Amino acid sequence: MTSDNQARTLGELKKSGYSVVSVKEEMRRNLIKRIRSGQPLFDGIYGYEDSVVPQLENAILSGQDIIFLGERGQAKSRMIRGLTGLLDEYVPVIAGSELHESPFEPITDNAKARIEAEGDNLEIDWISRDQRYGEKLATPDITIADLIGEVDPIKVAEGRYLSDELTIHYGLIPRTNRGIFCINELPDLAERIQVGLLNIMEERDVQIRGYRIRMPLDVIIVASANPEDYTNRGRIITPLKDRYGAQIRTHYPRSVEHEIDIMEQESSSFTDEEFTVTVPQYMKEIVAEITRLARRSPDVNQRSGVSVRASIADYESLLANAMRRAIRLGERDVVPRISDLPYIIPTISGKVEFETVEDGKEDQIIEKLVQGAVVAVFNRYFNVVDLEDVVTKFKAGGTAEVADSLPSKQYVDLMNGIEGLSKAVSTLDPGENPAVVASATEFVLEGLHLNKRLNKDRVGGRIAYRG
């Protein structure tokens, strides 16, 4: 039922033939429709099509509560929030109900009394799928009152008796009735709070102070956790762990292409009509490769992971320095170069945790990661043996100076002045754009240096390549 023809009273709802199903049944029904139509479960999630998504679809089809296990930056929260797309667009609730109660299946005494008194004239509201999602980051200071509820002293002061259910101020989970509730970093919940959550999942009991209320909440409890914390004895009570039907492991992108897709999708974009931004494919690959190498580096703490956010932030910083150069030089084309890569060091330094290293060594570690990424990508595009003409020219005394501050047009002269360099650059298909030619020229020269075919000296703010 759409927002244009929604019933406004209980009587109208009955006449419409609307039937209430559980949240799990609702999601299952909508997932079946998506699978049949070939529509993807999520938009903007890359690399999980053959790993995480099939497991998640099975969990939904079997009606299980789900916990996602994975390091930071693996789209756990994004997928959980995306599950709301499997909810109906609108569902009816009793108007004024705190707990999104179904007009056909009220769960509080107050709602039952209203239906008894008002009958088919009971007012109905319709809530959207976005209103049916709740989320809480688990921290040690979370209380039962936050998640489940507490006696409200203001309501008591207004004259209600403690025995009156209306004195209860409900927490986040009851208020997400008929929806999806997510707890991020589940093991950080105190043990006594985990027990309260266990009762919600298993018995549908809401125990508040001296009250023991049988409340058949219709809510899916989804959680996320770091695998190390979740499997660590003492961080999570065994009965709660047993209640989750599906334990789904997430992972970082397994290919450079997926890492790049995420970078491009999530990086900040601005409308700058006076500039034209072009990012050569090899520069995208280098940024992605830096992150992938960091995930395998013994100098980086792998227990905390290296988030995809590192790739995104590095990509943004790279483009920012290219933009800064274009502004200073009065150029319209914004194209990142190899000489822009040092400017990502402050960015990635805040995205990774290093193993025990001496002070000041962090930058050296990152520089090695950058060099490793550049040479790995270069060797995908070139065979060094095919560039002997360029190397020979340098051995004969040729030199080349580059810098992130040099105008793009100077690189065109540089490329044409070194035998074989123009042919090597043309392999990258830079076209006639001087800014793209500048980027490609630096890529070839740095690749030859890292393959030990050219020497490299730093002279002031510039870099000189020689034989």
Q: What is the mean pLDDT of the chain?
A: 88
Tens digits of residue pLDDT in 21-80: 999 999 999 999 999 999 999 988 999 999 999 999 999 999 998 999 998 889 999 999
At residue 228, does pLDDT exceed 60?
Answer: yes
Q: What residues form DSSP beta bridges with 125?
A: 93
Q: What integer pLDDT is reported at residue 234 of this predicted model?
A: 60
- For the chain, what is the largest distance between any 2 Cα atoms, rounded to a whole number of angstroms? 99
For 385-414, what is the mean pLDDT?
Answer: 91
Do strands 462-466 and 399-402 pair parallel, antiparallel, or not at all (unpaired)? antiparallel
Question: Closest Cα partner for 378 from 301, 302, 313, 281?
Answer: 281
Q: Could you tell me the domains of the chain?
A: 10-249 (3.40.50.300), 252-380 (no CATH), 382-467 (no CATH)
Tens digits of residue pLDDT in 191-220: 888 887 887 777 665 666 555 556 788 899
Of 130-144, 282-296, 318-332, give the lowest mean pLDDT range. 130-144
Residues 189, 149 contacting (CB under 8 angstroms): no
Alpha carbon of 195 to those of 147, 203, 253: distances in Å?
A: 12, 11, 35
Question: Closest Cα partner for 100 from 74, 132, 78?
Answer: 132
| Alpha-carbon gap, residue 377 to 390, rounded angstroms | 19
Residues 368, 376 contacting (CB under 8 angstroms): no
| Alpha-carbon gap, residue 411 to 434, rounded angstroms | 7
| Alpha-carbon gap, residue 12 to 9, rounded angstroms | 5
Q: What integer pLDDT is reported at residue 396 of this predicted model?
A: 87
For 159-180, what is the mean pLDDT?
Answer: 74
Q: What integer pLDDT is reported at residue 316 of this predicted model?
A: 95
Tens digits of residue pLDDT in 257-270: 999 999 999 988 88
Residues 23, 219 contacting (CB under 8 angstroms): yes
Do strands 399-402 and 455-459 pair parallel, antiparallel, or not at all (unpaired)? unpaired
461 alpha-carbon distance from chain centroid? 37
Tens digits of residue pLDDT in 299-324: 888 888 899 999 999 999 999 999 99
Amino acid (one-letter) located at 36: R
The 3-state DSSP class for residue 205 equals: strand
Alpha carbon of 408 to those of 231, 325, 332, 437: distances in Å?
A: 54, 10, 11, 8
pLDDT band at 13 (very low <50, low <70, confident <90, very high): very high
| pTM of the predicted model as reported, rounded to 2 decimal places | 0.85
Q: Of the spans 98-112, 413-427, 438-452, which averages the highest pLDDT?
A: 438-452
For 151-156, what is the mean pLDDT?
Answer: 60
Instruction: Mention every residue, 6+ apart, whose C-beta is less than 8 A from residue 408.
Output: 329, 331, 333, 335, 434, 435, 437, 438
Q: Burial of 155 by CB count in 10 Å (0-12 exposed, 13-18 middle, 19+ buried)?
A: middle
- The larger pLDDT score, comparing residue 365 to residue 195, is at 365
Q: What integer pLDDT is reported at residue 11 of this predicted model?
A: 92
At residue 162, does pLDDT exceed 60?
Answer: no
DSSP for 248-296 reads: EE----SSHHHHHHHHHHHS-----TT-EE---HHHHHHHHHHHHHHTT
Q: What integer pLDDT is reported at residue 398 of this predicted model?
A: 84
Q: Dig out the tokens for 45 from the structure.
A: 């999630």
pLDDT band at 229 (very low <50, low <70, confident <90, very high): confident
Instruction: Mention every residue, 6+ apart, whose C-beta is less than 8 A from residue 347.
Output: 310, 313, 314, 316, 317
| Alpha-carbon gap, residue 456 to 464, rounded angstroms | 6
Residues 98, 170 contacting (CB under 8 angstroms): yes
Phi, psi of 399 (to 5 degrees): -135, 160
- The larger pLDDT score, comparing residue 3 to residue 456, is at 456
